[in-house]
Structure 1
Amino acid sequence: MRFDVLTLFPEMFTGFLQSSIIKRAHEKGLIATNLINFREYATDKHRTVDDTPYGGGGGMVLKPEPLFAAVDDILAQVDERPPVILMSPQGVPFTQAKAEELARHSHLVLLCGHYEGYDERIRQHLVTDEISIGDYVLTGGELPAMVLMDSVSRLISGVLGNESSAVDDSFSSGLLEYPQYTRPPEFRGMKVPDVLLSGHHARIEQWRREQSLLRTWQRRPDLLRTAALTEEDRAFLRELERKYSHEQ
Structure 2
Amino acid sequence: MMNFHIISAFPGVFENFLNESILKRAKDAGAFYYFLHDLREYANDKHKTVDDYAFGGGPGMILKPEPIFFAVEYIISHYKVNNPRIILTSATGRLLDQQYVNDVAANPDETLIIICGHYKGVDERVRKYLATEEISIGTYVLTGGELPALILVDSMVRLLPGVLGDLDSAMSDSYQSDVLDSAYFTRPQNFRGMAVPDVLLSGHHEKIKHWRQESSLQNTNRQKIK
Structure 1 match to 2:209: 205
Q: 1:139-158 maps to which residues of 2 (within 5 A)? A: 139-158=143-162
Corresponding position: 1:82 with 2:84: yes
Structure 1 match to 2:10: 9
Gaps of 5+ in 2: none
**Which moved further from structure 2: 190-199 or 204-213?**
190-199
Corresponding position: 1:60 with 2:64: no
Q: What is the CA RMSD across the aligned residues, in angstroms?
A: 1.6
TM-score by length of 1: 0.84
Q: Deviation of residue 198 (structure 1)?
A: 2.0
Structure 1 match to 2:167: 163
Q: Deviation of residue 12 (structure 1)?
A: 0.6
Structure 1 match to 2:43: 42
**Which moved further from structure 2: 134-143 or 75-84?**
75-84
Structure 2 match to 1:180: 184
SS at match of 2:59: coil
Rounded to whole Å, the distance in 1 between the matches of 2:81 and 2:15 is 29
Cα deviations by residue, 1:153-203 (Å, 9 ceiling, x for unpaired): 111121123322211211112321101012233333332222222222222
Against the structure 1 CA distance between its residues 21 and 163, is the aligned structure 2 distance closer, same or farther, given a 3 Å change threshold? same
Q: Deviation of residue 124 (structure 1)?
A: 0.4
Corresponding position: 1:220 with 2:221: no
Cα deviations by residue, 1:110-164 (Å, 9 ceiling, x for unpaired): 1012121111110101111111111111111101111111111111121123322
| Residue in structure 2 matching 1:130, options 119, 129, 134 | 134
Structure 2 match to 1:226: none
Corresponding residue pairs, total: 222
Structure 2 match to 1:19: 20
State the structure with bigger RCO (CA 8 A, min sep 6), 1 or 2.
2
Gaps of 5+ in 1: 223-248
**Which moved further from structure 2: 25-34 or 158-167?**
158-167
Q: Deviation of residue 26 (structure 1)?
A: 1.0
Q: Deviation of residue 79 (structure 1)?
A: 4.8
The answer to which structure has the higher helix fraction is 1
Cα deviations by residue, 1:21-57 (Å, 9 ceiling, x for unpaired): 1111111111100000121111222222112111111
Structure 1 match to 2:101: 99
2:11–2:38 contact (8 Å) kept in structure 1: yes
Percent identical: 50
Q: Deviation of residue 80 (structure 1)?
A: 2.5
Rounded to whole Å, the distance in 2 between the matches of 1:102 and 1:220 is 27
Q: Deviation of residue 221 (structure 1)?
A: 5.8
Structure 2 match to 1:241: none
SS at match of 2:48: coil
TM-score by length of 2: 0.92
Rounded to whole Å, the distance in 1 between the matches of 2:50 and 2:193 is 60
**Which moved further from structure 2: 200-209 or 80-89?**
200-209
Letter paired with 1:168? S
Rounded to whole Å, the distance in 1 between the matches of 2:134 and 2:147 is 15
Letter paired with 1:84? I
SS at match of 2:91: strand
